[in-house]
Structure 1
Amino acid sequence: MTIPAPLTGVIPPVCTPLTPDREVDASSLVTLVDHLVTGGVDGLFVLGSTSEVAFLTDRQRRKVIDTVVGHVGGQLPVLAGVIDTATPRVLDHVRSVTDAGADAVVVTAPFYTRTHPAEIARHFRLIAAGSTVPVFAYDLPVAVHSKLGAELVLGLAAEGVLAGLKDSSGDEGGFREVILGARTRGDVSGFSVLTGSETTVDAALSMGADGVVPGLGNVDPEGYARLYRYCREGDWALARAEQERLCGLFGMVRVGDPSRMGGSSSGLGAFKAALQLRGVIACAATAEPQVPLSSGEVERVGKFLAGAGLL
């Protein structure tokens, strides 16, 4: 399907359910997609950070996109991450996901080696030239060690290289600069500015953001759909209350013991444990080498769900 310009609403980064032997659980993935669609989301972003894309093989990536596109069947836009270290590998992923029917691709700056802003811009231009679908930039400096500056992003938008930005940088000032530029520059139109922060959606939408890409939206899509609606209706009191409820729920990402696991194991493990506790997926396994949550940590996830009225 054709991606709206700008793309708006709630576009969760879809978790990748795995079997106990760490293969993609297509049946649970379909159930998760149904859970999200029923919850009122406006699009789906597969093969992003919350999808554990960095831990998946190319074969597993292809199974994810085939399963989701095959099931959604054009009901909602499907954005696919094509995240990899350098341009040739990203272009391989672009061909794979577009062959499978993805409606847009989501691209980070190159990583592993340090790249100059001119090289990052060239990377995006080459990806756009090799893609038959719109290209969204993914600003994720914590993982790729390069920040996408507002002038770089807006310049590429003006060239028609980028259709939108998913901002997970935590740089609220830079994010606002992109929003303002997209609204006021005469050479940028139809550009979508999306926040990747689960906990500041009301603030981002009040600044003029077009939508949100919330990992926690896997667990509570209805909550984010309500929050988005309240903001668009200008009911900021209800929006604030809903955002604060979701902030409390987001505390689940810290259940993992930091002495034995990293933030990814804790956060993604919590999302998957919550989905299993809610009966959405069959198994809460995360991709290796991530460390699984203990039974006690899973119990704490359940308390967060109960506190948010979800269990």
Structure 2
Amino acid sequence: MTFPAPLTGVVPPVCTPLTPQREVDVDSLLRLVDHLVAGGVHGLFVLGSTSEAAFLTDRQRRQVVEAVVGHVGGALPVLAGAIDMSTARVLDHVAAVAAAGAQAVVVTAPFYARAAHPAEIARHYRRIAAASPVPVLAYDIPVSVPARLPAGLVLELAAEGVLAGLKDSSGELGGFREVVTGVREGSGTAGFSVLTGSEQLVDAALALGADGAVPGLANVDPHGFVRLYRLARAGDWEGARTEQERLCALFGLTRAGDPARMGPGSSALGAFKAALHLRGVIDCPVTAEPQIPLTAPEVAAVREHLAAAGLL
């Protein structure tokens, strides 16, 4: 499949089901892919934050890409995260996921020691794009990578052909609007994809001119996000708002975990997997170490959100 320019629609960041021994559960992974495809999604993003890529070994990362690419057989574009601390390590991941069949890579700014300077971020992306056999999308996720991606820098790299798109998980609509407007009005940015990673702002992002969304909650309710996207594209903004509000209520399941004993990542990813297990999509809701599992009462809270959303 030729990578679409721009990439549009709902592109879920696919969860990585694990066995109780915390190996990749390939059978459950492929059932999850079938669940997403049946929901009408327009692409798949593996090895992102929702995929728990930071917790997987290099062997497991490649296993995920090979399994998903082989299963969809070119019917949908498959993007793969190539996320690591330094340019050299990212280049290794790019080579591995491209060889496994990914049609594009999604890359954050460098991280770990300190927030990178914009000049270092630009150098990072230019070096990766020069070596990558597939298009490179930037991933702005300030909750995990302290360096924000300035809108001006994103537009500069887009015009140079370094970046093919942006997944913006900042939730900050001012900078997002600046990128969308700059792509629309800029020179050399045709075909650049602007995607929101915020589950709760999809209707607003589409109204601003976003090409699509990469919502983790779409693992749980792909039909809902596809319905929202179609309503927005049809200009039915009242219908889109109603569907967005239903999804915002469902998103409350990510807060099922007690913040006194676990971080928000454990709560959100644990809730996604608990929901998929309750819906019969995956065999086991376990998350990768060292994340803390949900308790039975917390899973019951997830079940209540699913029932309220009409998903059980």
Q: CA deviation at 1:237?
A: 1.2
Q: Which residue of 2 aligns with 1:271?
A: 272
Unaligned runs of 5+ in 1: none
**Does residue 81 in structure 1 map to residue 63 in structure 2?**
no
Q: Distance in 1 between matches of 2:8 and 2:142?
A: 23
TM-score (norm 2): 0.99
Distance 2:171 2:74 in 1: 32
What one-letter code is carried by the residue in structure 1 that aligns with 2:144? A
The residue that corresponds to 2:52 in the other structure is 52
CA distance in 2, matches of 1:7, 1:62: 23
TM-score (norm 1): 0.99
The residue that corresponds to 2:20 in the other structure is: 20
SS of the equivalent of 2:268 reads helix
Cα RMSD (Å) = 0.6
- Is 1:100 the counterpart of 2:100? The answer is yes
| CA apart distance, 1:33 | 0.2
Distance 1:209 1:175 in 2: 9
Equivalents in 2 of 1:116, 1:237: separation in Å?
42
Query: 1:113: Cα distance to partner?
Result: 2.1
The answer to whether the aligner puts 1:293 opposite 2:299 as a matched pair is no
Query: Post-superposition shift, 1:63?
Result: 0.8
> Does 2:42 correspond to 1:42?
yes
1:229 counterpart = 2:198: no
SS in structure 2 opposite 1:12? coil
Counterpart of 1:149?
A: 150
Q: Unpaired runs of 5+ in structure 2?
A: none
Mapped to 2, the partners of 1:187 and 1:47 lie a distance apart of 29
The answer on whether the counterparts of 2:167 and 2:214 sit within 8 Å (CA) in structure 1 is: yes
What SS class does the counterpart of residue 143 from structure 1 fall into? Answer: coil
Are 2:6 and 1:3 aligned? no
Secondary structure of 2:36's counterpart equals helix
Matches within 5 A, 1:175-190: 175-190=176-191
CA contact (8 A) 2:142 2:170 kept: yes
The one-character-per-residue Cα deviations of 1:189-236 (angstroms, maximum 9, x if unpaired) are 110000000011111000000000000000000000000000000011
Q: Deviations over 1:94-113 (max 9, x none)?
A: 01000010000000000012
Cα separation, 2, equivalents of 1:48 and 1:293: 21
CA distance in structure 2 between the partners assigned to 1:146 and 1:169 by the alignment: 11
Aligned-residue offset at 1:187: 2.7
Partner residue in 1 for 2:216: 215
**What residue number does 1:167 align with?**
168
Mapped to 2, the partners of 1:184 and 1:113 lie a distance apart of: 36
Q: How many residues align?
A: 311
Aligned 1:231-246 pairs, distance under 5 A: 231-246=232-247
CA–CA distance in structure 1, aligned partners of residues 108 and 83 of structure 2: 6
CA distance in structure 2 between the aligned counterparts of 1:80 and 1:29, rounded to whole angstroms: 15
Query: In 2, distance between residues paired with 1:163 and 1:200?
Result: 22
SS of the residue corresponding to residue 105 of structure 2 reads strand
Residue in structure 2 matched with residue 251 of structure 1 by the alignment: 252
Report the 3-state secondary structure (helix = DSSP H, G, I; strand = E; otherwise coil) of the residue aligned with 1:141.
coil
Shift, 1:18, TM fit: 0.3
The answer to whether the 8 A contact 2:171-2:201 is kept is no
Residues 141-174 of structure 1: per-residue CA shift (max 9 Å, x gap): 1111000001100000000000000000122100
- Helix, strand or coil for the counterpart of 2:199? coil
1:236-284 superposed Cα distances (whole Å, 9 cap, x missing partner): 1111110010000000000001111000100000000000000000000
